[in-house]
């Protein structure tokens, strides 16, 4: 699989100077070579221009209301929080503009995370917001004092909060908003919200295709992306065949415009199909509010196991099939019940390769299928082989998690029976590209910057 390796300098050259109407030496070259998700402008004039009528697919996501970028500054920052179902993470991106006529480059990222995620504080929203504050304190150290007021801070929550009641989710978001308001950073309107599932997929697709250089030049070979979170999972790709567009339900397709290109992406977020939600579904415990005292058993767990598990603020008791069967075959059948017939299967993806991250990556690392630092290329059948190895040797397999068999079996079934991939489909397992996390947060930050005084 083609992997576009960028040097540190080139990493970012994504942001075109909107005023370079005529070719102007190196910056022009870079603009045509590495296009160009968005253009950040540095003067107040650009802020005015950015409020043009041009229709943008994400215009409701980050409504333009301020222009934080200082004409004189050549370094600036964007802070994006990912409030995921299993943890909260801060991504502090640094951008530089080497000179006024040059493109802005993504220079680097500071990343930190805490567990559990915000949804674990559903009944203690203040405590949840405290975890965000601790991460935000890092940004106080990372961002120079004179840029605090110009550095936007945004938090987007994903499936964990989508699954909470509206009231509990809003209470958490309100507390976080207060933390932001008390910080020295720029707090745009709508800075704390729940991210729509289809944006989650699209923004991750933008991140991966930007970092791998696929959004530049004429010969774009974009790659599809697979994200497996704790509570939801996303699949996103650019359909190549008219037939795919015809066969796809309308709500799986989203059009958006990016630097003179319009992309019509296939994207869908399956809520409740993240790895941890799938554990509950397999155990028969999903959607059960009151599970006190009930023991959930599965053939995917070690026979003698009896334990407790906390997820989304709820405690579950679970265990192995003491008398019954265990192993890959019965486990696969159990997991299949969760998946079968629930996902749309676009024919086109059977022959394509995809970038896969989050829990695909973590479980491949846990079972030595890939190296933690390097990642690697796997076939779908590698997950099945590992699942069999782990599930059929459960008592002997030395694993940090009793769920390893269930997780690998779920990943296998999700890929094969859920999305309809072949055994031979290639997956590029990736955690970082050029030291930048493969997360929807980078795509979201591009759009945040764009909404804050940026054209295109
Ligand atoms: N590569 C990468 N993986 C991440 C990042 N943040 C979270 N993850 C992975 O996402 C998974 C957890 O999903 P999470 O975001 O909590 O659940 P979601 O709300 O359902 O998406 C784990 O595998 C994490 O390692 C990130 O910044 N980069
Ligand atoms: Ca996630």
Domains of the chain, by residue range, sit at: 8-203+437-455, 275-342+376-429
The percentage of the chain sitting over the pLDDT mark of 70, rounded to a whole number, equals 79
The response to whether residue 207 sits with its C-beta less than 6 Å from ligand 1 reads no
CATH architecture of 8-203+437-455: 2-Layer Sandwich (3.30)
Kindly give the distance from the C-alpha atom of residue 227 to the centroid of ligand 2, in angstroms, as a whole number.
Answer: 7
What is the pLDDT confidence band of residue 395, given thresholds at 50, 70 and 90? confident
The response to whether residue 89 sits with its C-beta less than 6 Å from ligand 1 reads yes
pLDDT score, position 435: 95
Q: Tokens at residue 282, please?
A: 């397999």
3-state secondary structure of 179: helix
Q: Tokens at residue 383, please?
A: 């997950």
Q: In this model, does residue 434 exceed pLDDT 70?
A: yes
Residue 230, annotated as binding a ligand: yes
pLDDT score, position 60: 30
Range with the poorest average pLDDT among 271-280, 286-295, 398-407: 286-295
Count of beta carbons in the 10 Å neighbourhood of residue 53: 4
Count of beta carbons in the 10 Å neighbourhood of residue 356: 27
What secondary structure does DSSP assign to 396-446, as a single string?
A: T---S-TTHHHHHHHHHHIIIIIS---TT-EEEE-SEETTEE-SHHHHHHH
Count of beta carbons in the 10 Å neighbourhood of residue 60: 11
Please name the residue ranges forming H helices in 224-283: 242-247, 275-283
CA-nearest residue, atom 4 of ligand 1: 358
Sheet hosting strand 314-320, strand order edge to edge? 295-298, 314-320, 306-311
For ligand 1, what atom is nearest to the CA of residue 275? 20
Q: In this model, does residue 65 exceed pLDDT 50?
A: no
**How far is the C-alpha of 77 from the C-alpha of 80, rounded, in Å?**
10
**In sequence order, what are the residues at sequence separation of 6 or more whose Cβ sits closer than 8 angstroms to the Cβ of residue 126?**
175
Note the maximum CA span of the chain.
76
What is the pLDDT confidence band of residue 288, given thresholds at 50, 70 and 90? low
What is the pLDDT confidence band of residue 256, given thresholds at 50, 70 and 90? confident
**How far is the C-alpha of 436 from the C-alpha of 30, rounded, in Å?**
20
More confident residue, 48 or 382: 382
**CB-based burial of residue 230 (10 Å sphere; 0-12 exposed, 13-18 middle, 19+ buried)?**
buried
**How far is the C-alpha of 395 from the C-alpha of 397, rounded, in Å?**
6
pLDDT score, position 75: 87
| Owner of token pair 């050029």 | 434
Residue 231, annotated as binding a ligand: yes
Kindly give the distance from the C-alpha atom of residue 229 to the centroid of ligand 2, in angstroms, as a whole number.
Answer: 5
More confident residue, 147 or 46: 147
Q: Which of 105, 109, 175, 200 is catalytic?
A: 200
CA-nearest residue, atom 21 of ligand 1: 229
Q: In this model, does residue 207 exceed pLDDT 80?
A: yes
pLDDT score, position 258: 62
What is the pLDDT confidence band of residue 29, given thresholds at 50, 70 and 90? very low
The response to whether residue 303 sits with its C-beta less than 6 Å from ligand 1 reads no
**How far is the C-alpha of 301 from the C-alpha of 331, rounded, in Å?**
9
Mean pLDDT, residues 331-351 taken together = 96
Tell me, yes or no, if 200 is annotated catalytic: yes
Q: Tokens at residue 235, please?
A: 């699949």
Give CA torsion, residues 190, 192, 198, 204, to 10 deg: 110
pTM of the model: 0.85
pLDDT score, position 98: 75
Mean pLDDT, residues 6-22 taken together = 26
3-state secondary structure of 432: strand
More confident residue, 107 or 71: 107
Residue 317, annotated as binding a ligand: no
CA-nearest residue, atom 7 of ligand 1: 358
Residue 15: strand pairing partners? 38, 104
Kindly give the distance from the C-alpha atom of residue 160 to the centroid of ligand 1, in angstroms, as a whole number.
Answer: 12
């Amino acid at each position: 699989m083609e992997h576009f390796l960028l040097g540190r300098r080139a990493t970012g050259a994504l942001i075109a100077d909107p005023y370079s109407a005529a070719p102007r030496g190196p910056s022009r070259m870079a603009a045509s070579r590495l296009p160009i998700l968005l253009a950040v402008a540095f003067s107040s004039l650009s802020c005015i221009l950015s409020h043009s009528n041009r229709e943008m697919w994400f215009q409701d996501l980050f409504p333009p209301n301020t222009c934080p970028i200082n004409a004189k500054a050549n370094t600036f920052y964007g802070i994006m929080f990912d409030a995921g179902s299993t943890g909260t993470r801060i991504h502090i991106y640094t951008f530089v503009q080497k000179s006024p006529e040059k493109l802005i480059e993504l220079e680097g990222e500071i990343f930190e995370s805490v567990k559990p995620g915000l949804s674990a504080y559903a009944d203690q929203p203040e405590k949840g917001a405290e975890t965000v504050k601790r991460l935000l304190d890092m940004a106080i150290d990372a961002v120079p004092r004179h840029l605090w007021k110009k550095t936007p801070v945004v938090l987007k929550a994903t499936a964990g909060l989508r699954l909470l009641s509206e009231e509990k989710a809003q209470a958490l978001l309100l507390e976080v908003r207060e933390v932001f308001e008390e910080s020295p950073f720029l707090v745009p309107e709508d800075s704390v919200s729940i991210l729509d599932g289809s944006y989650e997929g699209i923004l991750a697709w933008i991140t991966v295709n930007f970092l791998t250089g696929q959004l530049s030049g004429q010969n774009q070979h974009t790659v599809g992306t697979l994200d497996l979170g704790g509570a939801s999972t996303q699949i996103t790709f650019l359909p190549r065949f008219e037939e795919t567009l015809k066969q796809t339900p309308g709500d799986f397709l989203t059009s958006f415009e990016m630097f003179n290109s319009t992309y019509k992406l296939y994207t869908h977020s399956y809520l409740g199909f993240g790895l941890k939600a799938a554990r509950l579904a397999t155990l028969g415990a999903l959607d059960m509010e009151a599970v006190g005292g009930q023991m959930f058993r599965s053939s995917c767990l070690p026979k003698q196991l009896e334990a407790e598990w906390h997820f989304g603020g709820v405690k579950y008791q679970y265990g192995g099939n003491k008398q019954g069967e265990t192993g890959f075959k019965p486990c696969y059948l159990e997991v299949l019940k969760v998946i079968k017939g629930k996902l749309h299967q676009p024919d086109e993806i059977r022959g394509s390769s995809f970038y896969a991250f989050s829990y695909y990556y973590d479980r491949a690392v846990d079972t030595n299928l890939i190296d933690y630092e390097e990642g690697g290329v796997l076939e779908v059948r590698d997950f099945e082989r590992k699942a069999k190895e782990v599930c059929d040797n459960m008592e002997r397999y030395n694993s940090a998690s009793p769920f390893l068999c269930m997780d690998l079996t779920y990943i296998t079934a999700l890929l094969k029976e859920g999305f309809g991939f072949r055994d031979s489909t290639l997956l590029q397992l990736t955690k970082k590209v050029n030291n930048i996390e493969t997360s929807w947060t980078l795509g979201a930050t591009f759009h945040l910057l764009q909404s804050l005084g940026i054209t295109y």
